[in-house]
Amino acid sequence: MYFVTVVTRGRACLFGRVTEEGLELNDLGRVVEDVWTRLPNHYPHLELDAFVVMPNHFHGLVFLKPIAPVVGEGLKPSPTANRRHGLPEIVRAFKTFSARCINALRGTPGRRLWQRSYHDRIVRDETERDRLREYIASNPLRWHLDRENPASGGPGDGPRT
């Protein structure tokens, strides 16, 4: 399992806002959410867990399930039947698909939406997984303190877990 954080380019708040009532995603934020939830349709070995779309970043927990090898004709394995994409490919697809959809909505084809890289961390055990689930669930409640919130004193170098 991995904990993944992706931040918008320039930490621009594009996906909605956090109010006293909670997180309010706009159309762009709902696109990000939709693209994320559809990733297992493209990557059957991907299992999604807790996630949150924040105004200018995204947090998610993902589990990459092992795939048993499938033997094709003869002694060679089938070239695509047991293909397991790694986390970098999955995050790349998420960023690419969401940027394309958002750019289509905004009429800005080709514009970069996300920062160049992303933060990931291996979730080592159930205790850490549960702590990260809580972190994700409570992220909107801490927005006023979040280093990614431009109103909290400036962008930091990413969220801390």
Task: Quote the pLDDT of residue 124.
Answer: 96
Instruction: Render pLDDT for 90-113 as a digit per residue (tens, 0 to 9).
Output: 999 999 999 999 999 999 999 999
What's the pTM? 0.83
Mean pLDDT over 110-128 rounds to: 96
pLDDT at 82: 56
Residues 17-68 have pLDDT tens digits of: 998 888 999 999 999 999 999 999 999 999 999 999 999 999 999 999 987 6
pLDDT at 66: 86
pLDDT higher for 158 or 77? Answer: 77
Averaged pLDDT score across all residues of the chain? 88
List domains and CATH numbers for the chain. Answer: 2-152 (3.30.70.1290)
Report DSSP letters for 55-83, one per residue. Answer: SSEEEEEEEE------B-STTSBPTTTT-
Give the residue, 3 or 156, on which the prediction is more confident.
3
- pLDDT at position 47 is 96
